[in-house]
Amino acid sequence: MEGGITQQGLNMRTMDTRHTARMLRERHPEWSEEYIGKRLNRGQSTIQEHIKDIIQRQRATEHSLAIRLHRLGWSHQAIANHPQITVTRQQIDNYANNIDTDKICNLFYEAHKEVDRIAERQSIRGLSYG
């Protein structure tokens, strides 16, 4: 028995199943919906319904981390091997290839214009930024 859950699963009410599935996914993000379902004696689709928001948040966090590491110069293979990332190297390639650098450069340019405008209003002289 691990964490109060037997190998055979538990006969739980829906709210208990929801709570337990969410707790397990939070504690063990590497566990699949299928594995959690087997542990709780529930179908994969039932578990997916209970934890879909957690899965989306975890994927968004991984996506954000992969992009940040890519921008820091990490290779796609090194990112894929990172312990907090469970996506494949191909998915990381897709993340990296879908970054719109024109938008990033435009945002950077607009931010500099805004700083210049604020500095001018406040009569601040000698601002410099890399």
HEC letters along the chain: CECCECCCCCCCCHHHHHHHHHHHHHHCCCCCHHHHHHHHCCCHHHHHHHHHHHHHHHHHHHHHHHHHHHHCCCCHHHHHCCCCCCCCHHHHHHHHHCCCHHHHHHHHHHHHHHHHHHHHHCCCCCCCCC
Digit-coded pLDDT (tens) for 75-84: 888 888 888 8
Q: What is the mean pLDDT of residues 1-16?
A: 57
pLDDT band at 35 (very low <50, low <70, confident <90, very high): very high
Question: Tokens 């290839």 appear where?
Answer: 97
What is the reported pLDDT for 130?
47
* Mean pLDDT over the full length of the chain: 76
